[in-house]
Structure 1
Amino acid sequence: MVKVGKRQTMKINNFSSKGAHLDAGTGDSKDNILLPNNELEGKVLDIGDELDVMIYRDSEDRLTATLRKTALTVGTIGKLYVTDTNEKLGAFLDWGLKKELLLPHAQMVGEVKPGDEVLVGIYEDSKGRLSATMKIYSFLMPNKDYQKNDFVEGTVYRINPEIGVFVAVDNRYFGLIPNSECFKKFYVGEEIQARVIRVREDGKLDLAMRELAFVQMDKDAESILGKMKILKTHFRFNDDSSPEAIKEYFGISKKAFKRAIGKLLKEGKIEKTEEGFFRLK
């Protein structure tokens, strides 16, 4: 059975002025699939030879074979460059064939423009045509490689204000930065490094952008000192400051802020004013 969008081995049934015709396995020569002449240049082939090909639909919607290697096949995920956009259709992606891959508007996440590199999965639509989608949740797999506190790399593919930031770890595993760990703004397509804070029973990974507390505390303390040097007497943060204000200005949680302030007080680098704020000592 012919599998559109997948590499497979097919046998040459006959030749014509158009190219080699590959046996589709149906027993009917009318179903044979053309491997065009431009694919045969420089090759010596005979009837009965087996070829490793991929099947796709050409510009006239006919099943066609190619020997060329595409960047992705159906069911796989990867990053492709946007070559052009069309107001009605969507975006066109370079995946290694003359006929570019369509990323329909309905399958986009956020703004897409020429020159962008987008993380997509390849699927076969209801009409048997190959298309790309940025909605890749169903393409991802449970983690098999990472444990708690491991550091990972991934790509942001979706942002849900109520849940958090969805990340494709290694562009293959389920990852999520929960809202409680989101201390900066993210954007779709952003490549990040994060720490695994939990491996769920289903293999999905919860992530944090911050290191272990005792390591991160030093970095937070240095950041706060830097802010204090800039603001000087206008530094108006203390134990009563709201978590929202601390997160917006420092990009950390209130708990992390208090931990870093405690470290600076203990080291004698800052002191508390009569008003209850902090200043450089």
Structure 2
Amino acid sequence: MIDIGKYNELRFIKKTNAGLILTDGEKEVVLPYQHAPQDIELGDNLHVFVYIHSDGRLMATTETPLAMVDEFAFLEVVDTNEQGAFLDMGIGKDVFVPEREQKRPMKIGQKYVVFLYTDERNERITASSRLTDFIDQDSHDLEEGDEVSLLIFDESDLGYSAIINQQYAGLLYHNEVFEDLQPGDVRRGFVKKIREENKIDLSLQVIGFRHILDLKDSLMIELQENGGIINLGDKSSPEDIYNQLKISKKAFKKAIGSLYKERLVVVSDDSVKLVIKPADETAG
């Protein structure tokens, strides 16, 4: 069975004026010559993306789409009409967003986070910016501390809403984010807390003791690469710390506190310095 809006393994069975004919054994798909490998031979299998052309034919391409069916993606509007908007998929085939599926009216040249699906009536690839209709809100398999992939899709007074692992939604709080995030930004994140009704709090920093271990190693490397000194200390602003190290001030202070207890660094209001041990001590 051919999956429309996804990759398929199809066999090359013949040539026509329109292009190569590929099949899964039941249905035939046209691959235009400009997208066909030059060394293709009859009987070869091809890994192709399949979609429905405006004339109703099944079409294939070896180009890489910006998104596939059952995925969230950040796509640009290239055209609009009374029925809806058309988003660039990166393959010469635009995806349609019906007016009813637009959370806000879409404008040409703007980019939006959308979910791609196949319309049950005609099997065409369709998109929606009404994301909550496609987010799994009833259950999840996440645990606190898990590393996840985040796609930022909205901002509120509390913080930034993000799609987690292409399935769930969570929140990054403003007071724990030290960069200007925008819809469409992709970040590595971590599950900070799972609250009632499966609401998920997120962080851009590693959670727990492993976080401090990772930061200690990173800070030691930073010190060694900068002549044994970092021009950040107890009185440095959270913004300065994040701009240089991409971590929060709280995490920075925990990590340098741990290094200080091990007598590896000395800390002042505006700097952290490596402790230079005597040669006989380091040799032992």
Q: Please classify the TM superposition score into its range, dividing by the shorter chain length.
A: 0.5 to 0.7
Distance 1:190 1:65 in 2: 27
Aligned pairs for 1:170-181 (under 5 A) are: 172-176=167-171
Amino acid at match of 1:19: G
Structure 2 counterparts to residues 113-262 of structure 1, below 5 A: 113-126=107-120, 127-137=122-132, 138-139=134-135, 142=140, 144=142, 147=145, 154-157=151-154, 167-169=162-164, 172-176=167-171, 189=183, 198-200=193-195, 204-206=199-201
Aligned with residue 80 of structure 1, among 63, 71, 75: 75
Counterpart of 2:15 in structure 1 is 15
- Match for residue 250 of structure 1? none
Asked if structure 2 preserves the Cα contact closer than 8 Å seen for 1:155 and 1:169, the reply is no
Q: Write the letter of the residue equivalent to 1:23.
A: T
d(CA) in 2 for partners of 1:133, 1:51: 30
Distance (Å, rounded) in 2 between the aligned partners of 1:25 and 1:91 = 35
2:59 aligned residue = 64
Gap change, CA 1:202 and 1:72, over 3 Å in 2? farther
The TM-score normalised by the length of structure 2 is 0.56
Unaligned runs of 5+ in 1: 182-187, 209-218, 220-281
Are the counterparts in 2 of residues 20 and 35 from structure 1 also a CA contact under 8 Å? yes
In 1, distance between residues paired with 2:136 and 2:114?
11
Change (3 A) 1:47 1:190: closer
Aligned length, in residue pairs:
196
State, as a whole percentage, how many aligned pairs show the same letter: 26
Cα deviation per residue 1:219-277 (whole Å; 9 max; x = unaligned)? 9xxxxxxxxxxxxxxxxxxxxxxxxxxxxxxxxxxxxxxxxxxxxxxxxxxxxxxxxxx
CA change 1:93–1:9 in 2 (3 A) is: same
| Per-residue deviation, 1:45 | 1.2
Match of 1:266 in 2: none
> Hey, what's the Cα distance between the residues in 1 that align with 2:93 and 2:59?
11
SS of equivalent to 2:55: coil
Equivalent residue in structure 1 for 2:47, among 44, 52, 65:
52
Cα offsets for 1:187-231 (capped at 9, x unmatched): x948699997631477540469xxxxxxxxxx9xxxxxxxxxxxx
Q: CA deviation at 1:82?
A: 1.4
For residues 51-86 of structure 1, what are the alpha-carbon distances to aligned partners after superposition, in whole Å with 9 as ceiling and x for unaligned? Answer: 000110112121111111101111111111112221
Partner secondary structure for residue 100 of structure 2: helix
**Which residue number in structure 1 is paired with residue 101 of structure 2?**
107
Q: Provide Cα deviations, 1:33-66, integer angstroms capped at 9, x if missing partner.
A: 11122223x6121110110001101121211111
CA RMSD, 1 decimal = 4.0
Note if contact 1:135-1:157 (Cα within 8 Å) is conserved in structure 2. Answer: no
1:34 aligns with 2:30: yes
- What is the alpha-carbon distance in structure 1 between the residues aligned to residue 60 and residue 117 of structure 2? 17
CA change 1:192–1:98 in 2 (3 A) is: closer
SS at match of 2:50: strand
CA distance in 2, matches of 1:68, 1:33: 15
Given that 1:143 and 1:205 are in contact with CA atoms closer than 8 Å, whether structure 2 keeps it comes out as no
Q: Is the 8 A contact 1:104 1:133 kept in 2?
A: yes
Answer whether contact 2:150 2:162 (CA < 8 A) is retained. Answer: no
Query: Is the Cα–Cα contact under 8 Å of residues 152 and 196 in structure 1 kept in the other structure?
Result: no
What's 1:251 paired with? none
* 1: CA distance, partners of 2:144 / 2:74: 22
